[in-house]
Amino acid sequence: MKLKVCWMYHDIMDLYGDKGNMMVLKKRCLDRDIQFELDTCGIGQKKDLSEYDLIFLGGGADKEQISLIPDLLSRKENIQKAMDENTFILLICGGYQLFGQYYIAANNQKIKGLQFYDYYTDTGKQGSRCIGNIVIDANLDGIKTRIVGFENHGGQTLNVKHPLGKVIHGYGNSFDAGQEGFYDGKILGTYLHGPLLPKNPVVADFVIYKSLKKRNPDFKFEDLKPLNETFEKGARDTLFKRFNIGG
């Protein structure tokens, strides 16, 4: 079994250690004897994204997001093809924003998104930002898990019809949203940096499972071999104690 991944704009969208997400996926795959093939796609590079099991797009500042927009929009039909053919998509922060209608930068420039979804992102007023550790409760296709991460975004994402989870600690999609991220079975978008996957082995395995299903439709989450997660559990327990919440 093999997992084929394309990391889009790896050279400019790697904010707050998003590279760690790919490192975790690779390690958890190899520990299960699942082949892991990581490819990258930069501005101007020709790639058929529908050939991959997973597409990953990380976070970046306004400057980076603006620089890649023409290239990203030129790939809209190919990304849609990938989604139609069950390629799973993981989006962090800026990547999450760009799959919506538009994003308004800190200088009030309106940046057109891919417009796959109805959500859109306004900018925080007077430069205000959602910053700090965040914990959410999520239900991933029946798999209930508590997700922990770090958020730092001025963008306020609104009109989110399929949130990833309920905020237990922190802000979320916007200051008063009470909900964080987006998940509809095809894409998982979130503001959680840190990076996301090292702190959340259930989410990492869920991404692996959803990606493997493209070529193995009968594959189940329970088919993933259990791994030793002593360090991950210890890190999570420490954070939950700090926030005075249970894991």
User: Which residue among the candidates 29, 130, 153, 193 is catalytic per the annotation?
Assistant: 193
Contacts 24+ apart (CB under 8 A), 122-126: 122/155, 122/156, 122/158, 123/154, 123/155, 123/156, 124/154, 124/155, 124/156, 124/175
CB-based burial of residue 182 (10 Å sphere; 0-12 exposed, 13-18 middle, 19+ buried)? buried
Q: Is residue 242 a known part of a binding site?
A: no
User: Which residue among the candidates 6, 93, 130, 153 is catalytic per the annotation?
Assistant: 93
- Among candidate residues 91, 144, 141, 86, the one with its CA nearest the CA of residue 121: 91
Assess whether 93 carries a catalytic annotation: yes
Burial 137-176 (b: 16+ CB within 10 A, else e): ebebeeeebbbbbbbebbbbbeebebbbbebbbbbbbbee
Q: What are the binding residues for substrate?
A: 129
Active site residues: 93, 193
